[in-house]
Amino acid sequence: MSSSTPPTGLSRELIALRAARELEPGSVVNLGIGLPTLVAGFVKPSDDILFQAENGILGYSGISESDFDSDLINAGGQPVDLVPGASFFDTADSFAMIRGGHIDAAILGGLQVSARGDLANWYVPARGGGSVGGAMDLAVGARKLIVAMAHVTRDGQPRIVEICEYPLTAERCVDVIITDLAVIDVGLQGLTLRERAPGVGPSKVAEWTGAALLIPEEVPEMSL
C-alpha cells in the first residue's frame, strides 16, 4: 500500500455508467444492492436488457421516482419501475433462474477481490455483522460476474488483494472489476489492467492495487 493520498477517480455514478457498458444487448442482468443499483439508470431502452431481482421480478427499468409501492420493490427494498411484459414469481423460481445459469450477467459490490477472482462482499469481521443474501448464488450462477466498487477503503487499504482476508462469498467467480480508478480483467494469468480512469496513470493504479497487476504497453483511458 502507498503512503500517499489515493488519486481522485470516478464518482459512484460514473462507475455505474462504465459498468453498464459491459452489458450485452438483450441480456438478463441482476444488480446487487448499493452501487450496482445505479447501473439500471444508464441502460438505454433500445438495449433491451431485462433486469432480474432475486425477490421475484423480471423486467424493471430502474429505481422509481413515483410513490412507494411495497409490491414493486427490488431485493434491496427500493421501488422500481416496470417495463411492458414484466413478470413476477416466487423466490424458489427466482433462484432456480440464477442457479440454472439463466442470468447472463450479475453486477455486485465488493469488499475484497483476490488475484484469482475470489469475492468477499458480505461480512466485515471488524463490524461483526453481515448477510450474504443472494450474492453467493449470483456469484456462482451468473454467466458473467462484474464487481463494481471503490478501489481502496476509506482508510486507504486496497480492496484488490492477493488473498482475501474477509470471509468469501464465492471462489474464482469474478470476471471483471470496475473501480473508481480502473477496469481490470480477471483471467487465468491473474489481473490485467484494461482501462484507467481519466487522469490516472497505470503506475498509480498498480500502486493502489494490493496484488500483482499485468499492465499492457497501451492502457487507454475509460471512455465515459
Query: Where do we find the cell 460514473?
Result: 14
Among 115, 190, 185, 108, residue whose Cα is nearest residue 149: 108
Name the DSSP class of 114.
E
Instruction: Residue 15: name the closest of 107, 80, 130, 117 by CA.
Output: 107
Residue 115 CB neighbour total at 10 angstroms: 18
Q: Is 54 a catalytic residue?
A: yes
Whether 30 contacts 54, CB under 8 Å: yes
- 108 beta partners: 147
Catalytic residue among 54, 165, 171, 217: 54
186 DSSP β-pair partners: 191
Q: Which residues are catalytic?
A: 54
